[in-house]
């Protein structure tokens, strides 16, 4: 079966392509990309892509699909449909499920479910520590063999630096990146939103940007010590991107991602007391947002990832301090970036495609 996508603006950052061209697909594989590919008889389907963008499938390297254990929030069937609706063809799912993806059996279960009920590619991320308890590292070789492409205790930090060092040394042996959720819990405590002018006005306990910055710096130091690949999840603070920029200049193996919500939503909107604005790390102030934009443009930030974290209604329809953290992003991410960054001239279309695909 052949498919011809005609006359679209083909953008493929990996191969430095940005031109009006045709794409010929045969049996699900790209056969040819060039100008004016002839339509031969009726041997396939033709899509008129005039005025449209033709890009590689978008990848979201940080989502929560909630299966197994929290299917009342989301499952692999619904989460991958949300991904497809949003333009993503591949997602990497975090292991904070119940049970945690901390062994081969759970990783295999996720892959089997994805093959049966999923509609996009799903790559599981294995836990760094057993039960994400932060004390004993997982059997990483087993997780790799079962299809995990990275390791993370996302949802919480690995607070013990010695455990993190050990984990990085092992992860490096298997060339697995370690995705770090950075927060220094002794500064977070029961904070509800970004600490600053608005937390004072709204009477909500604050989480200082330094809680993130401190842990980002610790992990950069551990990346330097171990030469392992540390990837910082959902970077949200100015001090964090400044530290990552400096670390990259020194050749330390560190990368990072940013979410659409941290790029466009300021902490001021928490004043609605709508728990849909409650997320971890919290929405930051305008100066942090400006620093994230700068870091996105100068290559300090490597990817946009949604941290898609859906919840059931009861977890959100309640007092702000009782509500769960998390924003669902898969269906809206591309539209938000397009509308708020590309159409405002902050980001070019090829830059956007690159941040969603590489
Ligand atoms: O807001 C968040 N929600 N941040 C996290 O780190 C975890 C996530 C979740 O799993 O709900
Ligand atoms: Zn996280
Ligand atoms: Zn997450």
pLDDT in tens, 186-229: 999 999 999 999 999 999 999 999 999 999 999 999 999 999 99
> 306 with 330: CB under 8 angstroms?
yes
Residue 320: C-alpha distances to residues 182, 203, 240, 301 (Å): 22, 11, 26, 30
* Ligand 1 close to Cβ of residue 181 (< 6 A): yes
* Ligand 1 close to Cβ of residue 93 (< 6 A): no
Neighbour count for residue 107 (Cβ, 10 Å): 24
SS (H, E, C) 178-243: EEECCCCHHHHCCCCEECCHHHHHHCCCEECHHHHHHHHHHHHHHHHHHCCCEEECCCCCHHHHHH
List CB contacts of 144: < 8 A, sequence separation 6 or more: 126, 174, 176
The Cα 162–Cα 166 span in angstroms is 6
The Cα 68–Cα 21 span in angstroms is 43
The Cα 112–Cα 106 span in angstroms is 10
pLDDT in tens, 8-47: 999 999 999 999 999 999 998 999 999 999 877 557 799 9
Nearest CA to ligand 1 atom 3: 326
The Cα 17–Cα 20 span in angstroms is 9
**Nearest bound ligand to the CA of residue 279:** 1
- Tokens describing residue 306: 């949604």
How far, in Å, from the CA of 166 to the mean position of ligand 3?
22
DSSP 172-196: HHTT--EEE----HHHHTT--EESS
How far, in Å, from the CA of 309 to the mean position of ligand 1?
6
Establish whether 307 is a catalytic residue.
Answer: yes
The Cα 132–Cα 152 span in angstroms is 9
> 219 with 235: CB under 8 angstroms?
no
Mean pLDDT of 281-299: 98
The Cα 217–Cα 225 span in angstroms is 12
Instruction: Please state the atom number of ligand 1 nearest to the C-alpha of residue 233.
Output: 6
The per-residue pLDDT of the chain, averaged, comes to: 97
Q: Which range is least confidently modeled, 36-45, 119-128, 253-262? A: 36-45
Query: What is the reported pLDDT for 30?
Result: 94
3-state secondary structure (DSSP) of residue 345: coil
Nearest to 146 by CA among 121, 113, 123, 115: 123
Q: Which of 66, 261, 307, 310 for mutating ligand 1's site (highest number of atoms within 8 Å of CB)?
A: 307
Query: What is the reported pLDDT for 178?
Result: 99
Mean pLDDT of 253-277: 98
> pLDDT band for position 352 (50/70/90)?
very high
> 125 with 153: CB under 8 angstroms?
no
> DSSP code of 21?
E
Neighbour count for residue 47 (Cβ, 10 Å): 16
Q: Which of 64, 93, 207 for mutating ligand 1's site (highest number of atoms within 8 Å of CB)?
A: 64
Choose, from 18, 75, 307, 317, the residue flagged as catalytic: 307
* Ligand 1 close to Cβ of residue 309 (< 6 A): yes
> 150 with 178: CB under 8 angstroms?
yes
Query: What is the reported pLDDT for 241?
Result: 99
Question: Does 183 score more than 80 pLDDT?
Answer: yes
């Amino acid at each position: 079966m052949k498919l011809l996508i005609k006359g679209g603006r083909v953008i493929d950052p990996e191969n430095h392509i940005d031109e009006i061209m045709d794409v010929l697909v045969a049996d699900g594989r790209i056969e040819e990309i060039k100008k004016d590919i002839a339509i031969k008889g009726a041997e396939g389907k033709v899509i008129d892509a005039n005025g449209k963008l033709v890009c590689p499938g978008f990848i979201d390297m940080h989502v929560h699909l909630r299966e197994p254990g929290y299917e009342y929030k989301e499952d692999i069937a619904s989460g991958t449909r949300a991904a497809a609706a949003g333009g993503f063809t591949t997602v990497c799912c975090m292991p904070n499920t119940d049970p945690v993806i901390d062994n081969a059996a759970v990783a295999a279960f996720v892959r089997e479910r994805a093959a049966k009920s999923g509609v996009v590619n799903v790559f599981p991320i294995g836990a760094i520590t057993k039960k994400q308890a932060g004390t004993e590292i997982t059997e990483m070789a087993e997780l790799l063999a079962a299809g995990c492409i990275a390791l993370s205790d996302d949802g919480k930090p690995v607070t013990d630096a010695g455990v993190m060092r050990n984990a990085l040394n092992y992860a490096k042996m298997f060339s697995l990146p370690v995705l770090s959720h950075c927060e220094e819990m002794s500064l977070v405590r029961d904070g509800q939103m970004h600490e600053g002018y608005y937390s004072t006005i709204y009477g909500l306990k604050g989480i200082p940007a330094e809680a993130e910055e401190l842990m980002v710096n610790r992990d950069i130091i551990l990346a330097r010590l171990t030469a392992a690949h540390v990837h910082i999840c959902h970077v949200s603070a100015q001090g964090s991107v400044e530290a990552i920029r400096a670390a990259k200049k020194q050749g330390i193996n560190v990368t990072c991602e940013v979410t659409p919500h941290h790029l466009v939503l300021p902490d001021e909107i928490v004043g609605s007391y709508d728990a849909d604005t409650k997320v971890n790390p919290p929405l930051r102030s305008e100066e942090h947002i400006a620093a994230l934009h700068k870091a996105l443009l100068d290559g300090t930030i490597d990817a946009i990832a949604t941290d898609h974290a859906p919840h059931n209604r009861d977890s959100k329809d309640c007092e702000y301090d009782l509500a769960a953290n998390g924003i669902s992003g898969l269906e809206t991410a591309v539209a938000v970036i397009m509308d708020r960054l590309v159409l405002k001239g902050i980001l070019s279309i090829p830059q956007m495609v690159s941040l969603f695909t590489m």
